[in-house]
Chains A and B, each alone.
Chain A
Amino acid sequence: MPKSRRFFSARNRREWLLPALFIAPALAVLLFLSIYPLIYSITISLQQETSSGVVWTLGNFTRLFSDNFFLIAMVHTFVYAVAALGCEFLLGLGLALLLNSRMGGRGLLRASLLVPMMLPSVVVGVVWRLMLNPDFGAINGTLRRLGISTEGLTWTASPKLAMLSVIAVDVWQWTPFVFLVLLAGLQAIPEEPYEAALIDGSSRWQTFWHVTLPLLKPSILIVLLLRTMDLLRVFDQIFILTEGGPGFATETISLYIYRTAFRFFDFGYAAAMSFVLLALTNVISVIYIKFLQAKEAV
């Protein structure tokens, strides 16, 4: 029998007043500070300054196709996202699987692992600029002590190594997050399926593949979704670590948009690029969510 799951059903118009009053401020804030800016942004992206004043044009969007920097920034962003996500996921999953049991010191472990992801991104940037400093940083210092030459290992200043460095920093910061979410997901899996698999004679690998992974799918998808969204829009750490350099080596799309808007003051073009980024993240999140819902239906 369908039962009313809500508490209050609106009786008459007077009864709608209270919920409306409760929701209105939130809606107002979001309308003015999330929706309106988007509309504003669309407007300026479709305008360009010409000698005869402001015209409506798709010029900002068509320019995207011929702008090499934009395309390179997109490539950088994808490379960054895929590489970081891959490492974080594999490391996080591996750690979660290995540490999934009642162990002493779990609270301590969790507290310590929280540190990297709770830090302000600028602090992460400072920490790793210190670590990666070619002359007095701890990384090169340790390498030297182990007898390895650090010639040319200028990390964030090296065109070849800069991207690797920023990816590594992201992995350092966010693997704990993947680990914690997947661990929580693993621990939510009840004992029974494992016991049934044991009785059925399943090997460790088979159990992992046929029991653990499917039951972990929701957590996996959530963590992948959240990380992908965050990786595609990355800005803070890279800004501090390399400012997109050396040259253009680590310029991601958010950095390029920032530079276009606040160094070159080309707001219209920046807005156009923002929309491409927004569309991209929307499409990807929709795909993820479809996956997530499909799994839940099962």
Chain B
Amino acid sequence: MTQYIPFAITAAYLVAAVIIGVRAGRGHNMSTVRAWGVGDRSLNPFVTYLLIGAGAVSAYTFMGSPGWAFSRGVPVMYVVVYVSFMAFLAWYLGPKVWHFGRKYGHVTQASTITDRYESPVLGGIAAAGVSIAGLAYAVLQTIGSAYILNVMSFGLIPTWMGVILVLGVISIYLYRSGLRAIGMTNALQGVLMFVTAWLVGLWAINHYTGGFSARPIFERLQEDMPQFLTLPGALGDMNYAFWTTSILISFFSIWQAHWISWMGAASPTGLRKATTFIPLYYIMLIPMIVVGFIGIFEYPEIGNPDQVAIQMAVDNMPVLLAGLLGAGTLAASMSSSEPQIHATALTYSKDIIQPLFKLSEERTGKLTRWLIFPIMALIIAPISIAEPASLVYILLIGYGFSGQAMPTMLGIFFWPRATKWGALTGMAAGLLVTVLFSFFIVHPLGIHAGIWGLMVNIPLFVIVSLLTRPSSDRALARYFERKQVAAEA
């Protein structure tokens, strides 16, 4: 019976998440977009810190990062670098986005785009485009969650049941409490993930080396397989160009869910404080990466590298620690899928359905939280269960869109001369190039496809903007300072 203790711990996390998530909405009228969508802008700096920090790392922490360390070696560190750099965007842009929300009532990224460019069409396209990435990401995380339940139950919970169970649990507290549920459960998830990663990592190092230094592992790699210690890595696919451009394109991508998280902070000062320290949270990736390096020697024949940490847990770890890893991985995947589901429901209702059907704010508010059910039932669940091979392509297209929206963001924060036609033209051309270089001529010269897309996108964005009429003074005045031209003598 002790073999089911890890499953019991993993399942206990689900119960805890429901309790915390449901309670999070107390005292707030969740029938309004402001409350359900941005939590009434009430999240304190600690919750904001973990909402953003934990939301960014996902099941990658416990599966992808040890898997990459196992198969490639040191190239895995590019993720550590880019998630840290993404904190710069939250730190610099977050307070501005917060003000857009507070002063102009924006609740989504697409709302700001629509307002700045005076183009519901551009806003709708942005909403649809970023939702592709968000939904694909949510599907991947849901598959990860179902996998954990399957492994921890020794196969008693098949994947399809795990998908339905996880989505069902999320739907309870997400419907009830919106962004506040995500914030509070992410606070629990964030702490759990941080503690678990260190406990598992230190246990694994001690188990395989007898001490708490990872040096013996890397000394052995120096002797036997030095290709794991340097770029381009054991698979030879991470040269300097790809390291650099992969980090840059990830840095340039502002996810809708992150935008909404920024809007949920209680104050811009608190948001600034929280985001300053977000990179330090990602130290927790390091012990799990070391677990992956250990797996090179302990599980050389494993079929799926992403399973190396979980397999190590099931085979060797004390049941309590294995249970924590199960709970931590489940928490990680759920902490990343919830914001995407929430953001998609919010943007579909505010940026597509409301303008299309000219709904009132009240009706939109009531509709928004209900949308999570068809999104989960008709999109996420079936795709998670089917797990089509095309999922990775859908994800790449979605990521590509997020990256190509960067010039549009420049026009919101930095350049008043940007126009909707410049944004649309650049985005369309950039996305075309990104798709071409993602699927057909893959990453030419080792440069990420998204960067090639931006090389076409940005010049077109600038040229077409300069050739077309800017937004009205009324719209621009919301985002930029006016210049008073000195009167002539």
Do A and B actually bind?
no
